[in-house]
Structure 1
Amino acid sequence: MKEIGMYIHIPFCAQKCLYCDFCSFSATEEMISKYIDALIKEMKIYEEKLRKCKIKSIFIGGGTPSIISINKMDKIINGIHSNFNLKEDLEFSIESNPGTLNKEKISYYLNHNINRLSIGLQAWQDFLLKKLGRVHNSKEFVRNYLLAREIGFKNINIDIMFALPNQSINHWQETLRNVVTLKPEHISAYSLKIEEGTVFNQLYKKGELHLPDEEKDRKMYHFTIDYLLENGYKHYEISNFAKEGQECIHNKIYWENEEYIGLGLGAHSYLNKIRYSNTTDLKDYIENIDKKNICVHKEEISIKDEIAETMFLGLRMMKGISIKKFTKKFGISPLKVYSNEICDLKEKGLLQVDDQVIRLTRKGIDLSNHVFVAFLLD
Structure 2
Amino acid sequence: MTAVYIHIPFCEHICYYCDFNKVFLEGQPVDHYVDLLIKEMEMKTKGRSLDTVETVFVGGGTPTTLNESQIERLSESVHRIFPLSKNVEFSFEANPGDLSVSKLKAMKRSGVNRISMGVQSFNNELLKKIGRIHTVKDVYQSIRNMEEVGFENVSIDLIFSLPGQTEADFKDTLHQALALDLPHYSAYSLIIEPKTIFYNLMQKGQLILPTQDAEANMYAFLMNEMERHGKKQYEISNFAKEGFQSRHNIVYWSNEHYFGFGAGAHGYLSDTRYSNFGPLKQYMTPLEENRLPVFQTKDLTPKEEMEEEMFLGLRKVSGVSKARFFEKFGQELDTTFKEAIQVTSEKGWLENTKENVKLTKAGRFLGNNVFREFL
Shared fold per TM-score greater than 0.5: yes
Query: Please, what TM-score do these two structures have when normalized by structure 1?
Result: 0.97
The residue that corresponds to 2:271 in the other structure is 273
Hey, what does 2:165 align to over in structure 1?
167
Matching residue of 1:362: 361
Mapped contact 1:51–1:84 kept (Cα < 8 A):
no
Contact 1:54/1:87 (<8 A) preserved: yes
Contact 2:319 2:359 (8 Å CA) reproduced? yes
The AA in structure 2 aligned to 1:76 is L
User: In 1, distance between residues paired with 2:358 and 2:371?
Assistant: 12
SS in 1 for 2:52: strand
Q: Does 1:212 align with 2:210?
A: yes
Q: Among 123, 126, 131, which residue is 2:129 paired with?
A: 131
Query: What is the letter of the counterpart of residue 111 of structure 1?
Result: R
Q: 2: CA distance between counterparts of 1:250 and 1:50?
A: 21
C-alpha contact 1:14 1:135 (8 A) present in aligned 2: no
Contact 2:40 2:292 in 1 (8 A): no
- 1:285 shift after superposition: 1.2
Aligned residue among 148, 151, 154 for 2:149: 151
What SS does the corresponding residue of 1:297 show, helix, strand or coil? strand
- Bigger shift: 357-366 or 259-268? 357-366
Per the TM alignment, residue 229 of structure 1 is displaced from its structure 2 partner at its CA by 0.3
* Closer/same/farther in 2, CA of residues 255 and 369 from structure 1, 3 Å limit: same
Instruction: Give the Cα–Cα distance (whole angstroms) in 1 for the partners of residues 48 and 188 of structure 2.
Output: 33
Paired position in structure 2 for 1:296: 295
Q: 2:223 aligns with which of 205, 208, 225?
A: 225
Between 1:137-146 and 1:358-367, the stretch displaced more is: 358-367
Aligned partner of 2:194 among 193, 196, 202: 196
Contact 2:163 2:207 in 1 (8 A): yes
Is the partner of 2:44 in helix, strand or coil?
helix
- 1:80 — aligned with what? 78
What code does the residue aligned with 1:85 have?
A: P
Deviation at 1:50, TM superposition (A): 4.2
Residue 104 of structure 1 aligns with an amino acid whose one-letter code is S
2:374 paired residue number: 375
Shift of 1:30: 5.0
Contact 1:319/1:359 (8 A) holds in 2: yes
Contact residue 184 and residue 239 of structure 2 kept, 8 A:
yes
**Counterparts of 1:69 and 1:51, CA distance in 2:** 32
Separation in 1 of the partners of 2:255 and 2:306? Answer: 10
Task: Please report how far the alpha carbon of residue 82 of structure 1 lies from its aligned counterpart in structure 2 after TM superposition.
Answer: 2.1
Contact kept, 8 Å, 1:5 with 1:55, in 2: the verdict is yes
CA distance in 2, matches of 1:30, 1:198: 21
User: Distance in 2 between the 1:29 and 1:78 partners?
Assistant: 25
Larger CA deviation: 150-159 vs 21-30: 21-30
**1:209 offset after TM fit, Å?**
1.1
> What does residue 90 of structure 1 align with?
88
Residue matched to 2:140: 142
Deviates more, 1:132-141 or 1:360-369: 360-369
Whichever residue aligns with residue 77 of structure 1, its letter is S
Contact kept, 8 Å, 1:64 with 1:96, in 2: the verdict is yes
Tell me which amino acid in the other structure corresponds to 1:292.
R
Gaps of 5+ in 2: none
Q: Secondary structure at the match of 1:253?
A: helix
Aligned to 2:327: 328
2-structure distance, mates of 1:125, 1:198: 22
Q: Which segment drifts farther, 21-30 or 262-271?
A: 21-30
**In structure 2, what residue type is equivalent to 1:333?**
E
**Is the 8 Å Cα contact of residues 43 and 292 (structure 2) preserved in structure 1?**
no
Cα distance in 1, alignment partners of residues 233 and 4 from structure 2:
24
Question: How far 1:227 sits from its partner (Å)?
Answer: 0.4
Q: Is the 8 A contact 2:351 2:358 kept in 1?
A: yes
> Deviation digits for residues 33-77 of structure 1, max 9, x if unmatched?
221111111011023254432211000000110111001112211
Matches within 5 A, 1:45-60: 45-60=43-58
Give the counterpart letter for 1:286 in structure 2: M
- Retained in 2: the 8 A contact 1:51–1:85? no
What's the % identity of the aligned pairs?
Answer: 39
Could you tell me which amino acid in structure 2 is paired with residue 367 of structure 1? L
Is the CA contact 2:71–2:107 (under 8 Å) kept in the aligned structure 1?
no
Query: Normalising by structure 2, what TM-score?
Result: 0.98
Q: How big is the shift at 1:29?
A: 5.3
SS of 1:100 mapped into structure 2? coil
Runs of 4+ deviating beyond 6 Å: none
Q: Deviations over 1:4-44 (max 9, x none)?
A: 00000000011010110100121335511221111111011
Matches within 5 A, 1:332-351: 332-351=331-350
Match of 2:306 in 1: 307
CA contact (8 A) 1:50 1:84 kept: no
Alignment of 1:236-247 (within 5 A): 236-247=234-245
Query: How far did residue 114 of structure 1 move?
Result: 0.4
In structure 1, the partner of 2:37 is: 39
Deviations 1:167-216 (A, max 9, x none): 11111111111111111110000001100000001111111111101000
Change (3 A) 1:38 1:349: same
